[in-house]
Amino acid sequence: MGVQVRSFKELDVADYDAVVVGSGFAGAVVARELAERANKRVLIIEKRAHIGGNMYDELDENGILVHRYGPHIFHTNDKRAFDYVRRFTEWRDYEHEVLADWYGTYMPVPFNKNSMEIVYGEEKAAHLIDKLIETFGDERKVTINELRAQDDPELSEIADFIYKNVFLYYTQKQWGLTPEEVDPSVTARVPVFVSRDNRYFQDAFQGMPANGYTPLFESMLDHDLIDVCLETEAESIFDLEFESDDENAPLAAISIKDVPIDGPIVYTGPLDELFLSRFGRLPYRSLDFAYETHDVEHVLPCGTVNFTVTEDYTRITEFKYLTGQESAKTTIMKEYSHSYDDPKTQIPYYAIINDENAAHYDRYLKLTSGLANFHPLGRLAEYRYYNMDVIIGRALALADELVGEE
Ligand code: FAD
Ligand code: UDP
């Protein structure tokens, strides 16, 4: 059958039992669950011209499968999330590896025992590795902050090296901030690993959809109770009614085309956009991507190289490693991070986690508190730094709750 794409002008809003804004994992999983488990007719509103959220991939003009909104590698310890996505497409095994380009020398990231040998030579590395094992234990992950907090001079030497050569410049490029200025949970995503394991992730389940993410979403949304309206912004079709004229007064009702929406409204876009940024825009980091196609089989030695001490881009990804595609050509992508100033031309990619921004977000969230059928969900709507598997888990949990309300 395929995904049912409808024109907004033509549809009858009264036909639907639930409205979902956004077709990334948050929106698509809830839509599928409501349709399949509760027989609900679901209308998905999506502002882009395609489904799949930031996971969207497509063939470029050279026939190479590329990710359009950043490289996406699936990894999780949540068996339910993994089993769920496996229902909709074939998967291929893939374990991501990342190398840091350190003035032209490659070393594994997360920084590990192998990286230490590259930097210090075998003999000195052996001694320092023993020290790390003594202090933290073998096969342990240590955050850069924990390592820097040690007062042993040799551990300080290692910490300083890693801080300066792995974290400092990369974080400045990515966030416009030093590692001390970003939330500790951000740098903790990439620990120092007392191990010889060169994989970027150690999760139990890792892989990639064999034919790409877009077919996975096409299969998930291929259901006769799900309709999708593309190129439609929620804020331009929602009529919001508030409890009073006070700018802090909570929402009382949402209607579309004069039809009040009484069923669940699952909103996965940025919360400030829905309220036309009345308290100012929520801060994000945005990205630009530069693609290059080369007439060789491979350009990089592995899926991603992080530029931790040089260049103005943060990393280069070579998609063929991720997708397993075979071709005599290859496409690579450089990522440039910058501030998010213009929502018309830029995309909000990374919420900037700190207390001030959390309070700013909470002001918007409070506006939704009066409307029991409104559910903000996802990396944008919750203003969090969530990986795909966490979003899938949260979407399944919300669906359980909504289906249980029957
Ligand atoms: P999204 O995928 O952003 O979907 C939201 C959808 O809502 C979009 O389609 C958007 O167009 C639509 N929308 C927004 N506002 C509106 C509106 N007002 N009206 C209508 N539609 C709207 N996670 C991993 O697990 N592994 C990775 O390797 C990984 N790599 C990443 C790389 C980058 C560069 C980034 C930024 C993120 C990465 N992530 C990764 C995280 C992953 O992208 C998110 O977990 C995932 O996208 C969350 O899904 P979502 O549905 O919440 O949001
Ligand atoms: N980071 C770094 N150097 C690296 C890799 C990561 O400084 O080589 C820091 C940086 O602040 C980054 C954060 O760790 O934003 C999280 O990295 P991750 O690879 O998880 O970022 P994502 O893939 O989500 O962009």
Domain boundaries 4-51+221-280+353-404, CATH class: alpha beta
Look at residue 343 in the predicted model and tell me its pLDDT.
Answer: 87
What interface predicted TM-score (ipTM) does this complex get?
0.99
Sign of CA dihedral 131, 136, 137, 143: negative
Pocket around ligand 1 at a 6 A CB cut-off? 21-27, 45-48, 53-54, 70-73, 233-235, 268-269, 273, 287, 349-350, 378-380, 386-389, 391
What residue owns the CA closest to ligand 1's atom 38?
72
Domain regions of the chain by residue span: 4-51+221-280+353-404, 98-193
How much distance in Å is there from the Cα of 131 to the middle of ligand 1? Answer: 41
Q: Report yes or no on whether pTM surpasses 0.90.
A: yes
Bond prior to 110 in cis (omega within 30° of 0): yes
Q: What mean pLDDT is predicted for residues 91-111?
A: 98
Alpha carbon of 155 to ligand 2 centroid (Å): 22
Instruction: Using pLDDT thresholds of 50, 70 and 90, give the confidence band for residue 406.
Output: very low
* pLDDT tens per residue across span 117-126: 999 999 999 9
Helices (H), 137-207: 144-148, 153-162, 169-175, 184-187
Query: Could you tell me which residues are beta bridge partners of residue 204?
Result: none
Residues 6+ apart with CB under 8 A from 372: none
Tokens of 308: 């931790």
| Contact in structure between 372 and 404 (CB atoms under 8 Å) | no
Residue 405 has pLDDT above 60, yes or no: no
* Alpha-carbon gap, residue 199 to 76, rounded angstroms: 14
Distance 388 CA to ligand 1 centre (A): 8
Mean predicted confidence (pLDDT) in 261-274: 98
Collapsing DSSP states into helix, strand and coil, what is residue 276?
Answer: coil
> Does ligand 2 come within 6 angstroms of the Cβ of 174?
yes
Tokens at 398, concatenated: 């919300």
**What pLDDT is stored for residue 344 in this prediction?**
87
Å from CA of 171 to ligand 2 middle: 7
Place of tokens 């150690």: 202
Q: Ligand 2, closest atom to CA 100?
A: 8
Tell me how far apart the alpha carbons of residues 33 and 398 are, in angstroms, rounded to a whole number: 10
Which-ligand-closest: CA of 381? 1
pLDDT of 218: 98
CA-CA distance, 57 to 289, in Å (whole number)?
A: 14
* Ligand 2 site, residue 56, Cβ cutoff 6 A: no
How many residues are there in the chain?
Answer: 406
Report which of 247, 302, 284 is spatially closest to residue 379, judged by C-alpha positions.
Answer: 284
Q: Tell me which amino acid residue 232 is.
A: T
Proportion of the chain above pLDDT 90, given as a percent: 98
